[in-house]
Structures are given as C-alpha cells and as structure tokens.
Amino acid sequence: MSHNHEPTDTPGPAGVRNVVILGGACAGLTAAIYAARANLQPLVIEGAEAGGQLMLTTLVENFPGFPEGIMGPDLMQAMRAQAERVGAAFITEDAVEADFSHRPFRIRTQSGEEVRARAVIVATGARARMLGLPSEERFLGRGVSTCATCDGFFFRKQDVVVVGGGDSALEEALYLANLARSVTVVHRRDQLRASKIMQERAFTHPKIDFIWNSEVADIAGDGKVTAVRLRDRVTGEVTERRTDGVFIAIGHKPNTEIFKGQVETDAQGYLLPTHGMMSSVEGVFVAGDVHDHTYRQAITAAAFGCMAAMEAERWLQGEAALTPVEHWGTAEPVGESKAGAPKGGPGKGARKTARP
C-alpha cells in the first residue's frame, strides 16, 4: 500500500472530501486531472493494480498525440504523473466497500481506511473474461489479446483465432478479417449466441471460418504464440492448429461488485448513467468501461472521465449554493442527507450509448 498525500491533500475539517475517484486508469486519471484543475482536491483510490487494462497492453497506436505509438503502461504512468502534478492525491489500494445510501458517501479501502466524499466518480473499469489457462496469461501481449481494435493491426496478413460465440467474438472476427489473412472462430458449442445479423455477416465473409464444439486446451509458442491446441468437446480429441494470434472474446465483466444493489445497473452489471454521467444515485458519477460496453477505448474512457469530472464540479457548485461552503478547498460537513433518486443532473437529458 502506498499513500501519496500531497500538501493539498487535506479533506475538509469534517474529513469529507469534495470528490473521491474510484479507479486509476484512463477514465479515473482524466477525471482526476479535471477535478484537480477545478480545485476540488480529488482523492483517487486507484486500486492495488492501478492502470487498468492498458497495463496489459504493449504498443498503443490509436491514442492521439503519439505518432510512434506509446506503450500502454507508459501512457498510464504519464497520465498519473499529470494528475499528481496538478494536485490529485492517491491511495494505492482497492476500494472494498462503498456506502452510497447517505451523504457524505463512505468508501472503505482494503486496509480499513474510511474515506468520506460529497461526490464520487466511479471509474473502476471492466475486465475481459479469460479462459483461465496459464499459457493464456503467459502470452498476453505476445500473441494473446482481448481487443481486436487495439491489437489487430499487429496481425496484418497473419492467421488468427478468435475464441467465443457471442456478438463480441463476431465483431472481433469481422474487424480482424479486414486485416488478417485468415480468421478462425473457435466456439465451444455448435450454435452461436450472437445476433442473426452478425452471424450472417460472419458466415458470408470469405476470410472467416468456424471450428465448432471446441475449446482451447492450451496455447503454444516460443516467446510468442505459434499454435493453439483444441479439444473437441464431443470426441475429446485434441488437435493442434497453427496460428499467429489468439483473441479471447468471451465477454467482459464490469468491476461493480461493491456497488451492487446501490446503483442502477443493466443485466450484465454495467452501471447506468441516468442524467448525463450521473448514476441513479445523486452525487455518484460514472466514467469509462464500468458503464460503457460499446466503445471500450482508452480515448473514450478518458473522455468519459473528463465529462464526469465536469459534471461533478457543476453538481457540487449547485450543492454549495444550497449548503454553506466557504470554498472548494475546505470541504465542510454537508450533513447526513439521504441519497435518493437524482433531482436532475447537470447533463442535458439521458445519454444513450448507441451501438455504432
């Protein structure tokens, strides 16, 4: 655990912070930069493994501003340094408990520290579901990927395997088919879960073929992926298939366990923004992959972080007009008010994440 409490890192006299940001990756760090520059003195509970999914990525070539690309961990380090320079404070621990039933909100960290906040920005992200093979972990970033948009470019004119049978798998397969020489979708059943339209597109694509009733038993390689071993779930037979890359597309899981039952979510557990970036709990904002299962990009997560911070600031300003507060730097008690349904957030109407 490391605390980085800068001199500006002073909660108000009642120990209540203006903004606590949960999550220290693209969305959370961008929110921290904006909140700090608005003099909100944000505290980022960045997680024990801060940096999010970009920490598992190698070269990022689609984040604007880096003509030669930038390594995922370097981008995260730069964003964190920027947030720190403008005054954000950090706790490098997981948030293990959140109580949004009353204001100020309460968040407990792994070591038992309790943090209280007027506003919270939830930017805890999502994680790709993995197969659970040791070899998959070993080759992550060396031929195994969970994001075709991020890594597909490295597999131009090569042969790749996509694992999964849902819309994500077919979306990845169709994206990769524009770049790779061949795309083989490996699915554990003989029927796809994906929508009919996606199935039709994939079935008619000349570069995409399917292996049914099969699971990946192992991934082989020497420094980088060279083959997958597939087990036929009907016959039990194991065969080896040469490949340059394996894209795991068996779904994502939002990191929302500690907010369960407190904030409105969709059926998969993604938080639902209801007014701009505000969640169903007034004063709790959402940003990044924890609510966005459509775009899932570093740049979109960063943009959502910016939006959430700006909305949190405006909301706090509105609250301050109702509650006596001297200035942002000294957060005074806001009293124990019941957090209920939003009265109407700062955004103009609900944002709908339409599928592209």
Listed in sequence order, the residues at least 6 apart from 224 whose beta carbon sits closer than 8 Å to its beta carbon are 139, 142, 143
| Least Å from the CB of residue 251 to ligand NAP | 3
Stretch near ligand NAP under the rule CB under 6 A, chosen from 35-43, 91-99, 161-169, 256-264: 161-169
| Least Å from the CB of residue 131 to ligand NAP | 5
Burial of 40 (0-12, 13-18, 19+ CB in 10 A): buried
Copy the structure tokens of residue 112.
């038992």
Query: Taking a C-beta distance cutoff of 8 angstroms, is the pair 274, 266 a contact?
Result: no
Distances (CA, A) of 183 to 79, 144, 158: 35, 14, 9
Among 52, 104, 164, 276, binds ligand NAP (CB under 6 A): 164
Among residues 34 and 270, whose Cβ is nearest to ligand NAP? Answer: 270
DSSP states of 167-178 as a string?
HHHHHHHHHHHT
Q: Count the neighbouring beta carbons within 10 Å of the beta carbon of residue 322.
A: 8
**Does 166 help bind ligand NAP (rule: CB under 6 A)?**
yes
Phi and psi (nearest 5°) for 241?
Answer: -130, 130
Among residues 33 and 202, whose Cβ is nearest to ligand NAP? Answer: 202
DSSP H helices, the chain, are 26-37, 72-85, 134-138, 148-151, 167-177, 196-203, 298-322
Going by their DSSP bridges, the two strands 245-248 and 182-186 should be labelled as unpaired
User: Pattern of binders to ligand NAP over 192-211, x per CB under 6 A?
Assistant: -x------------------
**Does 254 help bind ligand NAP (rule: CB under 6 A)?**
no
| Least Å from the CB of residue 66 to ligand NAP | 27
| Least Å from the CB of residue 195 to ligand NAP | 6
Among residues 250 and 310, whose Cβ is nearest to ligand NAP? Answer: 250
| Least Å from the CB of residue 127 to ligand NAP | 12
Among residues 165 and 305, whose Cβ is nearest to ligand NAP? Answer: 165
Distances (CA, A) of 292 to 117, 169, 286: 24, 17, 9
Listed in sequence order, the residues at least 6 apart from 200 whose beta carbon sits closer than 8 Å to its beta carbon are none
**Does 269 help bind ligand NAP (rule: CB under 6 A)?**
no
| Least Å from the CB of residue 186 to ligand NAP | 8
**Considering only CA atoms, which of 258, 224, 29 is closest in space to residue 144?**
224
Going by their DSSP bridges, the two strands 59-60 and 70-71 should be labelled as antiparallel
Stretch near ligand NAP under the rule CB under 6 A, chosen from 51-59, 134-142, 249-257, 314-322: 249-257
Among 85, 102, 156, 189, binds ligand NAP (CB under 6 A): 189
**Does 136 help bind ligand NAP (rule: CB under 6 A)?**
no
Copy the structure tokens of residue 82.
């920027």
| Least Å from the CB of residue 324 to ligand NAP | 46
Stretch near ligand NAP under the rule CB under 6 A, chosen from 152-160, 248-256, 306-314, 322-330: 248-256
**Does 165 help bind ligand NAP (rule: CB under 6 A)?**
yes
**Does 352 help bind ligand NAP (rule: CB under 6 A)?**
no
Among 27, 56, 115, 131, binds ligand NAP (CB under 6 A): 131
Q: How far apart are CA 304 and CA 107, in angstroms?
A: 22
**Does 172 help bind ligand NAP (rule: CB under 6 A)?**
no
Residues in the chain: 356
**Does 168 help bind ligand NAP (rule: CB under 6 A)?**
yes
Copy the structure tokens of residue 105.
């909100």
Query: Taking a C-beta distance cutoff of 8 angstroms, is the pair 176, 150 a contact?
Result: no
Q: Which residues are catalytic?
A: 147, 150-151
Report 271-330 residues binding ligand NAP (CB under 6 A): 293
Stretch near ligand NAP under the rule CB under 6 A, chosen from 21-29, 95-103, 109-117, 159-167: 159-167
Binding site for ligand NAP (CB under 6 A): 131, 163-169, 171, 188-189, 193, 215, 250-252, 293, 355
